[in-house]
Amino acid sequence: MNNQRRLVLSGLLCVLICDIGGVIGGVFRSPNSDDALFWRQQAESYLKRILQYEPNRRQGGAGVAQNVIIFVGDGMGIASLSTGRIYKGQLAGRSGEEEVLSFDHFENTGFSKTYNTDRQVPDSAGTATAMFTGVKTKYGFIGVDYSATATNEVAASVSNIMEWAQAAGKRTGIVTTTRVTHATPAATFAHSFDRNWECEAKIPANVRNKTKDIARQLVENAPGNKMNVIMGGGRSAFGAAIPEHLKTAFKFNGSMEKTCVREDGRNLVKDWLVSKNGSEAAYVWNTAELMNAEVDDLDYLMGLFADTHMSYERVRDTSEGGEPSLADMTEKAIRVLKRKHSNGYVLMVEGGRIDHAHHQNHARRPSEC
């Protein structure tokens, strides 16, 4: 009897495993066309439906914002939010679960489905493209739809919020604690088949003369070359590294993609400054230079404060020769963008090291970024 039961249980287990294996190993094709038209029609339909709700009708429907600031916490999912609340409360001597974060008080909140058209677990390139263009795309793609190849980025490109803002006469800018050529900020200005093509050294030799790296796109192409504020890390991709400025006092374990070091001899920061001839423009590379900049009179401000990503907030060099905080950069950015009698501005602000702290398995660091 026992042997028979074992055989039956073994058979059932085999059926269960085989069935699950069939699901996991299966290839499921998207029922959608996944092109820009599909995603934008879907969004328009959803917005129309939302605006029909009674509370929205009472408020007169959708207003038109003059100024827009998009705060992105890269990697800040539900678990990160819960951890942040608890950590904040415990730092104040409480248990933590009852703590409230600033945006918990917002009148309107929502959830987004973060996935790529070819992967259920997405990356920042595809998800940032979805945020800033309204078009979901493949893993690793920036500012292009699912049809992109290494040599047809222009044909596959999709317009983004910075282009729309500039067309409406608004000033624009980006602030991040990652490299400014990294996936999230890059989605506001670049069109790239591969998120790793931050500088020309990462582009395969056989297509290098058929595409532009992300740093060049920021300096040479719209909407990047029209942005009034560019601040973050990533000097190496621009050929503007400062080796003696490297800080090695604090090291983290865990995987992290390597910096793209420019090899063509170009200094794109100098090229950017030359292109702004006739305008009030400034380049800054440490806290003192940023804090002393006459930002109220500037048309354009570029600040690159690290050769690669900027430091985690907890270990940031807070001296005048070090890196400014995300709050300092944001405050200065708003002062550059805010002008009397203007049509307003659009600013993207990213706390990008949250994601990196998760990748490197640091429990408290994501809440401190």
**Is residue 73 a contact partner of residue 354, using CB atoms and an 8 Å limit?**
yes
Dist CA 124 CA 175 (whole Å): 16
Cα–chain-centroid distance for residue 359?
16
Helix or strand run (H / E) with residue 81? helix 78-91
DSSP single-letter state for residue 237: G
Cα–chain-centroid distance for residue 185?
4
Dist CA 44 CA 134 (whole Å): 10
220-223 contacts at long range (C-beta below 8 A, 24 or more positions apart): 220/271, 221/189, 221/190, 222/163, 222/166, 223/160, 223/162, 223/163, 223/165, 223/166, 223/172, 223/188, 223/189
270-276 contacts at long range (C-beta below 8 A, 24 or more positions apart): 270/240, 271/219, 271/220, 272/219, 272/225, 272/302, 275/219, 275/225, 276/300
| Catalytic-labelled residue, pool 30, 45, 124, 157 | 124
State both tokens at 304: 């690159």
Please state, as a whole number, how many other Cβ atoms lie within 10 Å of the Cβ of residue 145. Answer: 24
State both tokens at 109: 């909140």
Identity of the amino acid at 268? L
Residue 124 falls in the annotated catalytic set: yes
* Dihedral angle of Cα 349, 354, 360, 363, to the nearest 10 degrees: 170
Strand partners, 345: 171
The catalytic site residues sit at 124
